[in-house]
């Protein structure tokens, strides 16, 4: 874009001298001269030279060319007005008739407030006194007369102040306002900008001419985040990336215009991988960043009481400001997104409830996001939450602490008992069972009254045939499957395919590694105690049918560091204990992993494993996973492809 700035570089001069040719140049600064135009008229030439003959001889096109037609006196034949003498030499200027050099002033508008097209005389404008900032969306704009040649800027006096909703102007050759000229001015915008989310941000501008941006990255710390401070045609440039948390930041934008016919200023921001564009008015404030507050309490579940240890925990604003007060409050918080987080003692699960400009969203129903909560989506899990602080209002954020207990997880629903199974509720977001945990009578969580067999004859796959059956006992199972069982009295366990019977109590003290490809059924006419890992192969199956109790030790030989493994289906006529030898109910143990099923025919399952407080938040103390191989391979041992599929099948 050619402007009223014409320079001849040394390169052009040297080439012209050697070749005697005419060249175009941009770089010699010119000054507008209005001598020769009557009052109320202005020079309409695009390029105006500082020449004593005034406007008549200086109106022309936007270029001059070095020529041999101008003699040493800088005259051109009989028309000296077409030759102009400068410190660089003599130049010919295309001639225009004097009647075309001047045009009547017509005033007029333009982007930013009008004020007349064409040339302008600053002497007709008046300075203004700086005024008080008025709070509004946008930035506070200050407009100055400028030094027409180089620096300094902002030195010619303040001529206009106003609130600009955005810095998004294409003034072209018109002034920003009626009290400004259309050239040689500068502007400074001040206020606050909101970054709605954390990430890498950068600032930039589309400008003609210079533009720069300063950002207050922390109170009192101003950083130049963008600069394109030079005379240039319209272009878009960007600054460096800065990692910034969400919130409001002080901002100062600087702009200068020198040389027509174009003037443009557009302030931009961009988030890496996110929004990019001209900063909207909603994210700008003129005088001060909008503020609100964050308040709330820390309570202990299940009763929502402000008791220890919940009440003494720390609350943090954006990872910085901290309070242990209860109730707590952060006041004068800039509006927009902020991160509120809390500390938590070991063994406690943390949840939160959040609502805005109200305080009725902290019930148990809200914690669980049940339909009874008056605020949809109030509840959330975790010790950190993003809060969108409202302008002039408050965010009410309560923190709910729940002591976590050991819990059990069944990945195939294969836990059965004839009495109540005492379950602990799984932590929020996790589950006790995908299908169900069954027992006679009520069961915490999923339950089923009595035993219901989903039995169908071979080749009949009507799954709707549900027949109530009586739970079998040890003798029934032995009569059905123990025919031909071989007596075993060895120190460990039998390790070849077939049915085996152990008379009296059996204790497994050493790690048992089942042979690959074997299918083993062991009857124990007594109690079975397991003090070591029982490791089953991928292509083998193992089942125990016990007339008494099955007792798993709290600490398996060969187990650890975090779990004890026992493969197989474990069926007891009596009770099943997952940590029979604990010295105290709260003693910490390892996790018990059973790749199979736990079935108590006439008693219940005592879930005795207990992880430490921190681990109870996530891993289950007992994890029961019925491997799919049992559905197929047990047919060769127990006569049916589905021995226990959610329930004891009919037919015993």
Task: Say what the pLDDT of residue 640 is.
Answer: 41
Average pLDDT over residues 451-472: 44
Higher pLDDT, 21 or 456: 456
Higher pLDDT, 518 or 601: 518
| CA separation for the pair 283, 186 (Å, rounded) | 24
- With bands split at pLDDT 50, 70 and 90, how would you rate the model's confidence at 119? low
Task: Say what the pLDDT of residue 407 is.
Answer: 75
Task: Say what the pLDDT of residue 348 is.
Answer: 84
Average pLDDT over residues 498-525: 96
pLDDT in tens, 362-384: 999 999 899 899 999 999 999 99
The whole-angstrom distance between residue 172's C-alpha and the CA centroid of its chain comes to 40
Longest Cα pair distance anywhere in the chain, in angstroms?
A: 137
Task: Say what the pLDDT of residue 585 is.
Answer: 80
- With bands split at pLDDT 50, 70 and 90, how would you rate the model's confidence at 226? very high
Average pLDDT over residues 238-250: 92
pLDDT of 651 above 50: no
Task: Say what the pLDDT of residue 50 is.
Answer: 35
Task: Say what the pLDDT of residue 336 is.
Answer: 83
How many Cα atoms sit within 13 Å of 449 on the Cβ side? 0
Task: Say what the pLDDT of residue 349 is.
Answer: 83
pLDDT in tens, 34-79: 334 444 544 444 333 333 344 433 433 333 333 444 555 555 444 4
Q: Which helix (H) or strand (E) holds 13?
A: helix 10-19
CATH number of the structural domain 291-403: 2.60.40
| CATH top class, domain 123-285 | mainly beta
Dihedral (Cα; 556, 560, 562, 568), 10-degree rounding: -50
Q: Which of 244-258, 557-571, 597-611 has the lowest mean pLDDT?
A: 597-611
Q: Which of 23-32, 121-130, 168-177, 516-525 has the lowest mean pLDDT?
A: 23-32
Nearest partner of 175 among 80, 109, 106, judged by Cα? 109
273-282's contacts with Cβ under 8 Å and 24+ in sequence apart are 273/199, 274/197, 274/199, 278/166, 278/167, 278/168, 279/166, 279/167, 279/193, 280/166, 281/137, 281/138, 281/165, 281/166, 282/137, 282/194
User: What average pLDDT does the structure give for the chain?
Assistant: 76
Domain limits of the chain?
Answer: 10-103, 123-285, 291-403, 408-638
Average pLDDT over residues 84-108: 43
The whole-angstrom distance between residue 277's C-alpha and the CA centroid of its chain comes to 20
| CA separation for the pair 478, 471 (Å, rounded) | 14
pLDDT in tens, 286-315: 998 888 899 999 999 888 999 999 999 999
Task: Say what the pLDDT of residue 601 is.
Answer: 80
pLDDT of 259 above 50: yes
Residues 385, 339 contacting (CB under 8 angstroms): yes
Average pLDDT over residues 620-627: 84
Nearest partner of 252 among 219, 225, 231, 233, judged by Cα? 225
Is residue 432 classed as helix, strand or coil in its secondary structure?
coil
Per-residue H/E/C for 245-268: CCEEEEEEEEEEECCCCCCEEEEE
pLDDT in tens, 521-565: 999 999 999 999 999 999 888 999 999 999 999 999 999 899 999
- With bands split at pLDDT 50, 70 and 90, how would you rate the model's confidence at 409? confident
Task: Say what the pLDDT of residue 460 is.
Answer: 45
Residue keyed to tokens 């015993």: 652
| CA separation for the pair 396, 647 (Å, rounded) | 48
Average pLDDT over residues 127-141: 94
Task: Say what the pLDDT of residue 83 is.
Answer: 54
Residues 371, 413 contacting (CB under 8 angstroms): no
Q: Which two tokens stand for residue 359?
A: 């305080």
């Amino acid at each position: 874009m050619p402007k009223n700035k014409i320079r001849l570089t040394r390169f052009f001069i040297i080439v012209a001298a050697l070749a005697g040719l005419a060249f175009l140049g941009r770089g010699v600064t010119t000054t507008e001269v209005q001598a020769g135009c009557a009052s109320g008229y202005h020079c309409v030439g695009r390029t105006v030279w500082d020449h004593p003959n005034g406007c008549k001889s200086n109106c022309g096109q936007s270029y001059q060319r070095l020529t041999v037609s101008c003699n040493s006196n800088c005259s051109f034949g009989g028309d000296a007005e077409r030759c102009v003498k400068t410190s660089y030499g003599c130049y010919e200027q295309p001639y225009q008739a004097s009647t075309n050099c001047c045009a009547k002033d017509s005033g007029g508008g333009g982007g930013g407030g009008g004020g007349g097209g064409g040339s302008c005389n600053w002497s007709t404008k008046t300075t203004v006194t700086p005024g008080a900032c008025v709070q509004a969306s946008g930035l506070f704009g200050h407009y100055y007369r400028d030094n027409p040649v180089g620096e300094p800027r902002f030195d010619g006096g303040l001529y206009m102040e106003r609130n600009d909703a955005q810095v998004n102007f294409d003034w072209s050759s018109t002034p920003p306002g009626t009290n400004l000229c259309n050239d040689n001015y500068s502007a400074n915008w001040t206020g606050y900008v909101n970054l709605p989310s954390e990430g890498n941000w950068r600032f930039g501008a589309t400008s003609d001419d210079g533009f720069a941006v300063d950002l207050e990255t922390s109170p009192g710390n101003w950083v130049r985040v963008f600069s394109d401070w030079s005379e240039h045609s319209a272009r878009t440039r960007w600054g460096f990336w800065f990692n910034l948390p969400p919130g409001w930041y002080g901002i100062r934008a600087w702009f200068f215009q020198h040389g027509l016919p174009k003037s443009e200023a557009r302030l931009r921001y961009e988030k890496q991988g996110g929004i990019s564009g001209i900063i909207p008015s909603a994210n700008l404030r003129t005088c001060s960043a909008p503020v609100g507050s964050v308040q709330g309490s820390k309570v202990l579940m299940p009763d929502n009481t402000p008791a220890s240890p919940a009440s003494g925990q720390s609350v943090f604003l954006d990872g910085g400001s901290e309070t242990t007060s209860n109730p707590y409050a952060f006041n004068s918080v800039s509006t927009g997104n902020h991160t509120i987080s809390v500390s938590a003692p070991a063994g406690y699960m943390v949840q939160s409830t959040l609502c805005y400009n109200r305080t009725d969203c902290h019930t148990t129903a809200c914690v669980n996001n049940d339909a009874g909560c008056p605020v949809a989506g109030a509840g959330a899990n975790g010790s950190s939450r993003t809060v969108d602080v409202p302008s002039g209002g408050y965010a009410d954020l309560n923190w709910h602490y729940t002591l976590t207990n050991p819990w059990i997880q069944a990945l195939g629903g294969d836990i059965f008992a004839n009495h109540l199974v005492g379950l602990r509720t799984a932590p929020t977001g996790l589950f006790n069972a995908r299908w169900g945990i069954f027992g006679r009578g009520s069961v915490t969580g999923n339950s089923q009254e009595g035993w219901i067999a989903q039995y169908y004859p071979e080749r009949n796959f009507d799954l709707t045939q549900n027949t109530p059956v009586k739970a079998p006992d040890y003798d029934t199972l032995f009569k059905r499957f123990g025919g031909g069982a071989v007596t075993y009295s060895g120190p460990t366990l039998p390790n070849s395919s077939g049915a085996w019977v152990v008379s009296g109590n059996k204790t497994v003290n050493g790690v048992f590694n089942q042979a690959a490809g074997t299918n083993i059924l062991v009857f124990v006419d007594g109690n079975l105690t397991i003090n070591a890992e029982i490791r089953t192969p991928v292509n083998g199956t193992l089942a125990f049918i016990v007339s008494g109790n099955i007792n798993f030790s709290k600490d398996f030989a060969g187990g650890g560091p975090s779990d004890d493994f026992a493969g197989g289906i474990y069926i007891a006529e009596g009770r099943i204990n997952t940590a029979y030898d604990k010295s105290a109910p709260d003693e910490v143990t390892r996790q018990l992993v059973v790749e199979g099923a736990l079935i108590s025919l006439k008693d219940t399952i005592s879930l005795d494993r207990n992880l430490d407080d921190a681990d109870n938040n996530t891993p289950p103390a007992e994890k029961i996973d019925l491997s799919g191989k049992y559905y197929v391979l047990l047919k060769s041992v127990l006569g049916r492809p589905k021995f226990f599929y959610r329930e004891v099948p009919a037919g015993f």
